[in-house]
Structure 1
Amino acid sequence: MIKRLLAALALVLAVVVCGAGAAHAQDLVIKKVDTSKFPQVDVSAQLNGAPADLSKVVLRENGAFINKFDAVPLGRTNTPVGVVLLIDTSGSMNQNGKLDAAKAAARQFVNSKQPNDQIALIAFNSQPRVLVSFTSDANALLNGINGLAATGETALFDAVRTGVGLFGDHPNLEPNLVIISDGADTVSTGSFAQAKSAAQGAHATVYAVGLAGGDFDGAALQDLTGSTQGQYAQTADPTQLTALFGQVQQSLQNQYQVTYTSKAQGGTLDISLSFGATQATASVNAGGVTQGPSTQPQTVSTDSGPLGFLGGSLGKWMGVLLGLVAAGLLAYGLILLFTRERSTLETALQPYTEGGSEASGGDYYDDPGADHSVFSDSAIMQRALDLTTRFAEDRGILTKVETLMEKADLPLRAAEALFFYVGGVVVLTLLVAVLTRSLFSTLAILILGVLVPPAALQFLGGQRKRKFQAQLPDMLQLIAGSLRAGYSLLQGVEAVAQEVSEPMGGELRRVLAEARLGRTLEDSLDDMAERLASRDFAWAVMAVRIQREVGGNLAELLSTVAET
């Protein structure tokens, strides 16, 4: 009975889930192209997102496909990766457990490092301090992290310059800086331009996590990460730091080296690299080491305005719950699409019997013996439908919905339709809010969810009316022929009802059911014309009513009406 609505709702939910996943597209960045051993070319690339499927790597040079190349994770090469952790230890980090959260995130970062990672630790407040130089010794790094204490001002720019300077003594390391700070620079002796220039000069990639709140200004960090092919993330919730550091580490570990032998004779090499659906390009001159083109950073924010609270554990659990609801509705909708509901005489006549419809004055939902649908069997659903019915009746909505449902010929009661309509809009909106944490996307889905179902009902009703209008002349001619053959009007309607297709056949069968229950044929035909909003059929029924009162040749009258 609710097959069509559930199937549509479930499929829309499935599309939203898939669409939401696609919104988090991966970014591919070519960080370095080494042609110092030309014609051997080494391309270092970073993929932000899930690990790459190396079987889907596509490489082109100067427009021509390179079929023979080696693509391996950077961790399996001899390339050592250098990471400088710069942790803000200014006095404001004492607030709201920021420093403790930063230390926990840093500890996890160290514990999850790869064998080729070399990590250094710098704490900065009024001035930067190198606590641990580059090392693969996790214990030394953890001891330095555990000893961090918050006090003083914020010398962010000086800390960046100090971190970049460490790579001067370690030119073999791939340079990366990971910064966490909760405030704007206040006491640095150097400027932001100097810090930015130092990072770019060292070809360092800067990753930054900003703890929003108070005097925090993330503009400098965003500029710094954007100019170095890095990433910037921001949150007002310190408990999210571990997750954000995990994303940074995932990006660092999703680095790959693609090695091939160039077919060019030198000069400029236009390189195109694709990992699945993501693509990056670089244009370099053969015979040296070239940094890839700068790209904007991938912003990963857990503080997305009014919906930022959905980025925490609450949002995750809501996402899981709504995902299960969507999967359940999808499965149930598919089952209903491929199964047929049992049809009995009682259920066939119920909409036309006294007490079987809201329109007839009976209260269907209050009748314990009524043949309810599967969704109204439980006490909870019964209560929900009762509340929906009373709410809609008090505001005059129920009658309008009944009219729309009848015109569209959907086998669903008005209260059930309203319940699933409202529930579907709520589930869709919450699901999009959880998955995207975007106010704009959430409002867009809410507006579409509110407007599309009524518009769809109007469309279905209009389409059904057009089919009815096209069948009307033939139907009148068939009834006229039956009358000429000696049938009564009721017998003629019955004969035609068995021959014509929908929607005419179904409507005539409904008229017959009402007539057999004692209603006059003319009144049933009038209601049929009203349901389908057909003025032509209404005039035909009026002509039949007048003819039956005054007498005459009804068959000839119907033929005349059909021709006009």
Structure 2
Amino acid sequence: MGASAARAASPLQVSQGAGASFPARSLVLSVHNRGLVRPSQIHLSENGQAVEGAVVRAIANAGIGDFGVVLAIDVSPSMQGQPLKNAMAAARALAGQRTGQQQLGVLLFDKAAHVALPLTANAPAIAKALAKTPTVGPGTHINDALSGALRQLAATRVAAGAVILLSDGADRGSVSTEPEVAAAARAGHVSLYTVGVRDPNFDPSSLQMLARDGGGRYIEASASELQRVFTTLEAGLTSRYVLHYRSRAPLGHRVHVTVAVDGIRQAATLTYLSPSPPQGLSVKHLKATSFWVSTLALVLVSCAAALLLGLALFVYLLPRLRRGGLRRRVGEFTSVGVLATKPTLEKAPSRPLLALEHLLERTSWWPEFKLNVEIARMHRTAVELVALDALATIVAAVFVSFALGTAVLSVLVLLLGPLALRAVVKQRLHKQRELFADQLPTHLQELASTMRAGHSLISGITSMARAAPEPAHSEWARVIADEQLGMPLEKAMRPLAQRMDSEDVGQVALVAALHHRTGGNMAEVLERVADSVRERAELRRELQALTAQARLSRYVVTALPPVVIALVALINPGYVRPLFHTPAGVILVFVASGLVISGSFVMRAITNIKV
């Protein structure tokens, strides 16, 4: 009794709320002898550390899931007549005091419990359920009715719940016992309030015991006083506050919670035990919860990282030999003075790179990739780019794995590494081809002018190539070298058209073939081809300007999901934790990544208009 009196005298009381699963937590705070308290005046801490981001709401302004009351009304024969009418009038008065999203449920009981109104915040439904006085029935199963009310609150998962039971007698014949009901109320963090209606044969002992063991109050009143009693109880319940927050306490630890209010010296305290971590789980069980914390995942990721890191070390630590390139050796047998080309020295790949290249030559994509790297003028061989990309991808994946504590994003990084290399090579290749296309009209005009001066076609190409900048200089030098080795000029131009993906060069090759067979005014034809190429270049630039916004939208939309996830992970890591530590979350991450990448490719196809 002394401890109970001390709690009643305390200006602050805090209790655990329901409806939240750890690390989410809900508390119910009662502030006595104090007016309205602002959320900024309430301070919450766990084990001495302030809790940031707590949501505080007064029950008077309750949100959805904050507060719910179930009225359990006795409809046994002893309540027939005016007592039952007064009870329903009191229920209507209590419903009329509701504010915000407070939920109300009504349960009528005799020998069985009947749900007259499930927990709801719908005012018309509440008014309809309380409009009529119910009929009476035999029996008074108080404990069974309270068990049904507690199940309603548990199913609705409200943070602060209460049951107000009204009866004029003791329990007769319930399956549930008083200790079981009280234990269920304490486990569900629900307060039991009992109201006894006085009559000549009234025995308050069972109602008093339920209220005492259920953490509520017992009130005795006559039938005419029920409306005042109900409204008083409602006012007391709605003067409390609900606190929602996420705990940062580790599993299996005792947590000391302190709630302080500005202007009140004494703080309210509460101690709870966080859920215990799973003990003695087998590898099979770990796989079922999260593959990425299993031993198999650790072994696979470690082996992949070790292999790729070893390959990277071989690439950088072994000596590299140099030897002359094929083009320099073939150039010794052609006219050296025709085209002043700089001798190029190619690096002889080291043994690990040779082994890697032999392995890559077995794939179908390698010849095209190797050719694209050469045309894009990447200043490194294709096998060196693959090795460097593998090293960078592994380093980035390991960094992401350690930084975020999950291997899911590391797998995505491993998948995106080759795609990034391919995108870079394609971009450089596209720029080289665009530069060649921009240079082509001027070069064709120069070639036409040279032919009007009396030079031959091959002499004009040689003169034009000598002064041409890159990439036109190197590409036309290939054509001249092939022609000097005995290949017909039109055939020597076809590889150039394929390498530069240029239909215009194909037209020049066709004109060269016709000129070789039939003769004619080659200069005039070349001038017309140059005008056509120039017009197409202008149209291509206009299309690029018109599609610039769509291309920018593609980059923004593609980058938005990973950027948002990264920001949320930095601000609140626990919020995105289920995405990377549950099987469903991992599947959703890979599905979403695939959809984002596919959407990016579709948007690129829409904006990539061939002219």
Q: Structures share a fold, TM > 0.5?
A: no
Which one has the largest radius of gyration?
Answer: 2
The TM-score with structure 1 as length reference comes to 0.41
Higher RCO (CA < 8 A, seq sep 6+): 1
The TM-score with structure 2 as length reference comes to 0.38
